[in-house]
Amino acid sequence: MTDKTIILIRHGATASNERKAYIGITDEPLSKIGVSQIKSRTYPKVDIVFSSPLIRCIETAQIIYPEKEINIIQNLRETDFGIFEGKNYQDLSNNADYQAWIDSGGTAAFPGGESREVAVERSIDGFERVLNLSGEAKLVSVIAHGGTIMAILSHYFGGDYYSYHIENGEGYTFDLSHNGIFSGLHPGSFLR
């Protein structure tokens, strides 16, 4: 494997993101604000682009890299939030299942959805597919979800899962050496 720079970018905002709702498997497009968010920044040029299969990521990738083919990786999709899908903390404020999930520190499975452990394992599988398919590319972009990015970074760089939370349109860059060592993690400096 050759030395690579990986750029992880969270998709632009959707209407549900604007309401602070849990949006995982719902295939919701970018909102007008989300499109503007992405268009207002300058992202690094890359050799190859990968994306979650969900439309909000594909649209983000098409805006940032209109000249590039978008390679879809199924396992880069967001966590399945089960019965919390499409709801925000206000909608769930009197829900006992939600309080139990909060009390677990976000580690319990979402009722009717995925556990964090399962989502992390799936996300890592998707990211390893990116690494295998990127071949000799030196600059690799991955357009994904907040949960997917937190899963990848906490797995490879350690630390708390939630410490890697980022806002829509933001991301991280890091390097992968030829001997498989990850280093140089930095929040992406995507200019506004």
Q: What is the pLDDT of residues 176-186, one digit of tens each?
A: 987 888 898 99
> Which residues 6+ apart lie within 8 Å of 188 measured at CB?
7, 8, 9, 43, 170, 171, 172, 173
Q: What is the mean pLDDT of the chain?
A: 94
Beta strands in the chain (DSSP E): 4-10, 48-51, 70-72, 139-144, 171-176, 182-187
Overall pTM > 0.75: yes
Q: Considering the domain 4-187 in this protein, what is its CATH number?
A: 3.40.50.1240
* Structural domain spans, the chain: 4-187
Question: For residue range 21-52, what is the model confidence (pLDDT) as tens digits?
Answer: 999 999 999 999 999 999 999 999 999 999 99
pLDDT surpassing 80 at residue 64: yes
Specify the range with the lowest mean pLDDT, choosing from 109-113, 118-122, 154-158, 184-188: 184-188
Predicted confidence at residue 1, as pLDDT, reads 44
88-92: average pLDDT:
95
As a whole number of angstroms, the distance between CA 48 and CA 175 comes to: 15
Q: What span, in angstroms and rounded, lies between the C-alpha atoms of 53 and 72?
A: 6
Rounded distance between C-alpha atoms, residue 49 and residue 39, angstroms: 17
